Amino acid sequence: MYERFWQQMGDITTIVISGWQSMSYFSDVKNLCWFLEPEFAKQIIRLHKIVGNAVTDNYYIVVGTGSTQLFQAALYALSPPNASEPMSVVSAAPFYSSYPSVTDFLKSGLYKWAGDANNFNKDGPYIELVTSPNNPDGSIRQPVVNRSGENLVHDFAYYWPQYTPISSPADHDLMLFTVSKATGHAGMRLGWALVKDKEVAKKMTSFIELNTIGVSKDSQQRAAKILQVISDSYEPVGNPKQSGSFFHFSHSMMEERWKALRSAAKQSGLFSLPEFPSSFCNFLGQAFGSQPAFAWLKCEGGIEDCGNFLKKHKILARNGKHFGASPEYVRVSMLDRDESFNLFTKRLSSLHLSQSKDHEEESP
């Protein structure tokens, strides 16, 4: 979805990396995270201060190959090395579908997936993953277990003003962010963690050092330029260019897409979508309801497997069972290119009750 904006920006985000640059493993040997490029760190802090979505003072920044690597690094850092059994990892359903598979992929003796945080009642230390706004349903989340022994990881991939009102700067022990959802540059494979505890930051850095011997310098330099261009358009405050700047553009796009999707669902009569309360966004200076990067779509009309039903009508979506929820739900991306999104809403609006009954008759 963001491709069009960056095309319109022309060469302003272009950087040139000569063949002799970025050859060393090291970026800043004096930094705890020695493979973090100083300019990337500078632009991360600058953007957070401008948007107001996270506190950065007295935090360590750890860079990773996407927030997925940082998530794994966090699990490693928060799990005691000599425990008698693996640390339980939980998240409230519906949870991000990759959490269970990534947690258990290596069958680590340090931690294991323990399911829905709403049903977790085991004694002892645990890790709770709090994604807010949540993937897949866009809800604003708080921890749900809330007892002694908690270790919280806050995933703020979507806490940006195109998706949800920025009400206050997040200030938690360990917070994850990713370039892919902030600016659309998923191919850079970059994320960052803001970590309060020095020892946790050290262990996360050690994990990444052993896993990939650092993170691409080229990607960090490119990302630094992208973040700089975004921040430049918002400074000084009141800059007349900001109405056409990235967050204003992307907020407007998300607003238009959610209106189109709600209209298509209403026209069909077969689907329902979450409703989000309106709140004031300190960054944009206006009130609005969340407009998430994913739609948590529910099939009505007695359709038990929404993913299978949509697939038969040439719409691909991720089944709710992958998120610890009912297969009556699916997750649909709101961030595809215009032509794909428009085709999706056109096909969705054309589905009606008669097709639902046909689907029921075909089901075994």
Provide the CATH number for the domain around residue 301: 3.90.1150.10
Angle at 131 between CA 141 and CA 328, to 5 degrees: 85
Q: Is residue 16 part of a domain?
A: no
The residue among 233, 263, 281 that closes a domain is 233
Share in percent of the chain as helix, strand, coil (round to 5): 40, 15, 40
Where residue 244 falls among pLDDT bands split at 50, 70, 90? Answer: confident
- Pair (128, 214) in one structural domain: yes
**What is the phi-psi region of residue 138: left when phi exceeds 0, alpha when psi lies from -120 to 50, beta otherwise?**
left
Q: Is residue 312 part of a domain?
A: yes
pLDDT, position 364: 53
CA distance 270 to 310: 11
CA distance 68 to 85: 24
Q: Is residue 238 part of a domain?
A: no
- Pair (191, 288) in one structural domain: no
- pLDDT tops 70 at residue 331: yes
Q: Which of 255 and 363 is assigned the larger pLDDT?
A: 255
- The one-letter amino acid code at 252 reads S
Q: Is residue 19 part of a domain?
A: no
User: Domain holding 136: CATH number?
Assistant: 3.40.640.10
pLDDT, position 357: 56
Residue 111, beta-bridge partner list: 87
pLDDT, position 363: 55
pLDDT, position 352: 87
Indicate the helix (H) or strand (E) that contains 289: strand 286-289
Angle at 94 between CA 93 and CA 96, to 5 degrees: 110
Q: Is residue 328 part of a domain?
A: yes
In the 8-state DSSP scheme, what is residue 86? P
- Pair (215, 253) in one structural domain: no
Q: Is residue 174 part of a domain?
A: yes
- Pair (228, 274) in one structural domain: no
- pLDDT tops 80 at residue 359: no
Q: Which domain holds residue 88?
A: 24-233
CA distance 230 to 43: 10
The residue among 187, 213, 233 that closes a domain is 233
Alpha carbon 164 to its chain's center: 12
Residues 257-301: tens digit of each pLDDT: 999 999 999 999 999 999 999 999 999 999 999 999 999 999 998
- The one-letter amino acid code at 227 reads L
In the 8-state DSSP scheme, what is residue 74? H
What is residue 240's three-state secondary structure? helix
Residues 130-183: tens digit of each pLDDT: 999 999 999 999 999 999 999 999 999 999 999 999 999 999 999 999 999 999
The total of structural domains in the chain comes to 2
